C-alpha cells in the first residue's frame, strides 16, 4: 500500500470535516447543543469515511483488481449503473419532480457509481479490443458512455453529463485510439456537449450569464459566485480562524458541499489553500506516477482513470469557486459533504492501492 496516498486522503478528509463542522455545527453549538441535527452531517461523513477505510484495506489486501477484467463483472457493473440512473428518472417522473439526482433520499447519487463504472468499462474495453482500432468497437464503447451521460442529463445534471464525457474522452485518447477514429468521436462528444449547453434549460443560461458577469445580477444568478469570491478575499493570508468565518452564516449557500473550498479559504486563508493544493498534488501526483510504473495494461488504464477523475474534480470545483469555470455542482472528493462521493472516492482509492500492489511487476 502506498502510504503517501493514504496520508493525503486522511488529511484531506480532516480538512473537509473542518468545513462540514464549521458550517453545520459551530454556528448553532451554544443555542442548540442538544439538537442531534447539528451533528448529523459530520457524523455521517465520519462513519462513511471509516467504512471507506475498511473497504480500502479489504480491496488492497483481498481483492485482485484483475477480476474486474472479466466480461461478466464489467457488464454487470454497466447494467447496474444504467439501471440506477434509469431508476432515478422513474422516481423523478412518478413524484412529478423537476430535479432529482438521488436514488435514496439525498445520500445515494448514481452519478458517482457511473464514474467509477465507466472508468472500469473503458479500461477493460480498450485492453480487450486492442486499443479500439475498429469503428464497430469504438461505436459500442461510445454508445455506453453516451447512454450514461444522456441519462444523467435528464435528471437534469448537465454538468455531470459533461464531466462523464470529458473523463471518458480523455481515457479513450490515452488508450491509443488512432486519430482517424478518435477525432470523429471527439467531434460527436463536442456536439453532444454543445447540445447540453444550448438545450432549453433556463438554469444553464443563467449560470453562463453569472459566470461571464456575476455582478450583473448580484442578488440572483451571480449571488453564489460573488459570495464565494468574497470568502477567498476575506480569508487573506492566514484566514479568520476555524469556525470564525461569516460566509457560512447564510451568505454562502452550499458552504459544506459545492463551495466548501470557499469556506476553507475564508477560515484558513492562503496558507490553508496552499496546504489543500499540496495534498491534492501529492494524491494525484502519486496516482499518475504509479500509472507510469504499472506494467499490466488494464491496471495502467484503471489507475489513469482514477487519477484523472480526482484531477478533473479538483480543477472543476476550485475553478468554479473562483469563477474560472461556470458554476456546476461537482463535488470536491474528501472535502465536500456527500456520502456517495466520499464512499466511491474511497472505493477508487482501494482499487488504486490494489493495482499498485499487484500491477507493478
Instruction: Please give, one letter per residue, the 3-state secondary structure of 66-77.
Output: HHHHCHHHHHHH
Taking the chain, what is the end-to-end CA distance rounded to the nearest angstrom?
15
Q: What is the pLDDT of residues 272-298, one digit of tens each?
A: 999 999 999 999 999 999 999 998 999
Instruction: Tell me whether residue 355 is exposed, middle or buried, using C-beta atoms within 10 angstroms of its C-beta: 0 to 12, 13 to 18, 19 or more.
Output: buried
DSSP class of residue 104?
Answer: B
* Percent helix, strand and coil across the chain, each to the nearest 5: 75, 0, 25
Cα–Cα distance for residue pair 62/191, rounded to 1 Å = 43
Top pLDDT among 190 and 135 is at: 190
For residues 31 and 246, is the Cβ–Cβ distance under 8 A?
Answer: no
The percent of residues above 70 in pLDDT, for the chain, comes to 92
Half-sphere exposure (CA, 13 Å, Cβ side) for 308?
25
User: How many Å apart are CA 315 and CA 12, to the nearest integer?
Assistant: 15
CA dihedral 330, 6, 17, 152 (to 10 degrees): 20
pLDDT in tens, 156-204: 888 899 999 999 989 988 887 777 777 777 787 788 777 777 765 556 6
Rounded CA-CA distance 39/352 in Å is 32
Residue range 350-361: average pLDDT?
86
pLDDT tens digits, 217-228: 878 778 888 999
Query: 91: how many CB neighbours lie within 10 A of its CB?
Result: 14
Indicate whether this model's pTM tops 0.95.
no
For residue 74, pLDDT beyond 70: yes
Dist CA 170 CA 165 (whole Å): 8
pLDDT at 300: 94
Range of the domain at 306: 3-358
How many domains would you assign to the chain? Answer: 1
Element (H, E) at 292: helix 260-293
Amino acid at each position: 500500500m502506498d502510504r503517501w496516498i493514504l496520508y493525503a486522503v486522511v488529511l484531506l478528509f480532516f480538512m473537509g470535516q473542518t468545513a462540514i463542522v464549521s458550517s453545520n455545527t459551530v454556528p448553532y453549538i451554544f443555542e442548540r447543543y442538544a439538537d442531534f441535527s447539528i451533528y448529523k452531517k459530520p457524523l455521517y461523513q465520519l462513519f462513511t469515511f471509516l467504512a471507506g477505510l475498511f473497504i480500502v484495506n479489504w480491496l488492497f489486501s483481498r481483492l485482485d483488481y484483475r477480476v474486474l477484467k472479466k466480461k461478466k463483472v464489467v457488464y454487470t457493473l454497466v447494467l447496474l449503473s444504467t439501471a440506477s440512473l434509469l431508476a432515478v428518472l422513474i422516481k423523478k417522473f412518478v413524484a412529478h419532480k423537476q430535479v432529482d439526482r438521488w436514488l435514496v433520499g439525498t445520500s445515494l447519487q448514481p452519478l458517482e457509481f457511473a464514474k467509477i463504472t465507466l472508468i472500469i468499462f473503458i479500461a477493460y474495453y480498450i485492453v480487450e479490443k486492442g486499443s479500439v482500432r475498429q469503428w464497430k468497437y469504438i461505436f459500442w464503447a461510445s454508445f455506453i458512455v453516451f447512454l450514461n451521460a444522456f441519462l444523467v442529463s435528464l435528471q437534469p445534471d448537465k454538468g455531470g453529463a459533461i464531466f462523464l464525457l470529458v473523463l471518458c474522452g480523455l481515457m479513450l485518447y490515452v488508450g491509443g485510439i488512432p486519430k482517424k477514429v478518435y477525432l470523429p468521436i471527439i467531434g460527436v462528444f463536442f456536439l453532444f456537449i454543445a447540445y447540453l449547453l444550448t438545450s432549453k434549460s433556463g438554469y444553464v443560461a443563467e449560470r453562463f450569464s453569472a459566470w461571464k458577469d456575476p455582478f450583473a445580477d448580484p442578488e440572483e444568478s451571480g449571488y453564489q459566485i460573488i459570495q464565494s469570491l468574497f470568502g477567498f478575499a476575506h480569508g487573506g493570508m492566514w484566514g479568520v480562524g476555524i469556525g470564525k468565518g461569516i460566509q457560512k452564516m447564510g451568505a454562502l449557500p452550499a458552504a459544506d458541499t459545492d463551495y466548501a473550498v470557499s469556506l476553507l479559504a475564508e477560515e484558513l486563508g492562503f496558507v490553508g489553500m496552499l496546504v489543500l493544493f499540496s495534498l491534492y498534488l501529492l494524491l494525484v501526483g502519486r496516482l499518475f506516477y504509479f500509472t507510469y510504473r504499472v506494467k499490466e495494461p488494464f491496471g495502467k488504464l484503471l489507475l489513469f482513470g482514477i487519477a484523472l477523475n480526482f484531477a478533473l474534480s479538483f480543477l472543476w470545483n476550485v475553478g468554479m469557486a473562483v469563477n474560472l469555470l461556470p458554476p456546476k455542482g461537482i463535488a470536491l472528493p474528501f472535502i465536500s459533504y456527500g456520502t456517495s462521493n466520499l464512499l466511491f472516492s474511497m472505493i477508487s482509492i482501494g482499487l488504486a492501492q490494489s493495482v499498485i500492489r499487484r500491477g507493478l511487476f
